[in-house]
Amino acid sequence: MATAACVPTDPPPQAAAPVASSMASLVEAPPKASAYLGLLRRSGIEMAIPPSGKFILVNIPSYELVALQDGEPVLRSRVVVGKPATPTPELTAAMVAVRFNPDWTPTPAMIRNEGLHYMPPGPDNPLGRLMFDLDDDELIYLHDTNEKYLFNRKQRAISHGCIRVQQARALAAWVLGVSPEAVDSLIARGSNSVPVSEDIPVALVYSTRFPDENGEIVSYPDVYAGRQTADAR
C-alpha cells in the first residue's frame, strides 16, 4: 500500500489495530444466499446450488427444469423424463455445447426391442432442433422434441432417460447469452454446434417436495416408486 511508507518501522501496539481493521475490510465477503436458496434451506431441501453464476436444475418428480442465475430462477420449463423402466438417473454434469439440428442414433436395445432407426436432422427428429451436450458418462442429455403435445400431459415420465425440454429455444438463448432471434438464425444454418463460453453445471435431482413458481412447497408423486428423495438424504 502507498501509505505503508508513512508507518513507523516499530509502531506502538495500539497502532496495529486500525491497520488490521483496514486489511480486513479488503477481504471480499462470500456471496449472500439468494431468497430462492434460502427457501430451499428453510424447507429442508438440501441441494448443492452455487450462490453465483449459471446453474441448471432438473427435478424429476415435478417434471421441471429451473435455470438459475446467481441462485435465483430466471427460466422455468416443463420437461419429460425417463419412464420407470428406463429412469432418468440422478447426476451432476456440465453443459458444454448446444447442437443445432442434431441427428439421432438409437441404442442397440432400442433398435432390437422397439424397431427404432437412425433419424437425420429435420422436423421429424426425436431430438427436435436443439440438443444440449453434457459431459456425463451415462449418455444423458437435454434436448428439444418433435412431440410438443407431450408437455400437456400431467404425468411426463415417458422417455428413454434423457430430458426433453419444452422451453428449449429460450434455454439455448440463456445458455449462450444470445437473443431468441439469434437462436433461430443458428437453427436456420443447419447442423452446427456452439460451445458454451463457460461450462454450466447441471444437476438432475429427485425430490418429491419442491417449490412451485409461486414459492409454495408442493408434494409430488414418487415417479420411481421407492427412490429416496433428495431432501431426505
Q: Residue 153 corresponds to which cell in the numbers above?
A: 400431459
Does the pLDDT value for residue 18 go beyond 60?
no
Residue 77 maps to a domain: yes
Burial of 201 (0-12, 13-18, 19+ CB in 10 A): middle
Quote the percentage of the chain above a pLDDT of 70: 84
Structural domain of 125 = 53-208
Does the pLDDT value for residue 19 go beyond 90?
no
The pLDDT assigned to 47 comes to 86
The pLDDT assigned to 33 comes to 73
Residue 5 maps to a domain: no
Does the pLDDT value for residue 16 go beyond 90?
no
Counted domains in the chain:
1
Of 102, 34, 45, 88, give the one whose Cα is nearest residue 204: 88
Residue 21 maps to a domain: no
Residue 25 maps to a domain: no
Is this prediction's pTM over 0.85? no
CA–CA distance from 219 to each of 5, 112, 150, 198, 231 (Å)?
64, 38, 22, 34, 12
Please name the residue ranges forming H helices in the chain: 13-24, 35-42, 108-114, 168-176, 180-188
Q: What CATH number is attached to the domain comprising 151? A: 2.40.440.10
Give dist(CA 121, CA 206) in Å, integer.
32
Residue 164 maps to a domain: yes
Burial of 124 (0-12, 13-18, 19+ CB in 10 A): exposed
The alpha-carbon radius of gyration of the chain (Å, integer) is 23
Give dist(CA 188, CA 149) in Å, integer.
23
Angle between helices 180-188 and 168-176 (to 10 degrees): 100
228 pLDDT band, cuts 50/70/90, is: low
Segment 74-132, tens digit of pLDDT: 999 999 999 999 999 999 999 999 999 999 999 898 999 999 999 999 999 999 999 99
- H or E stretch at 223: none
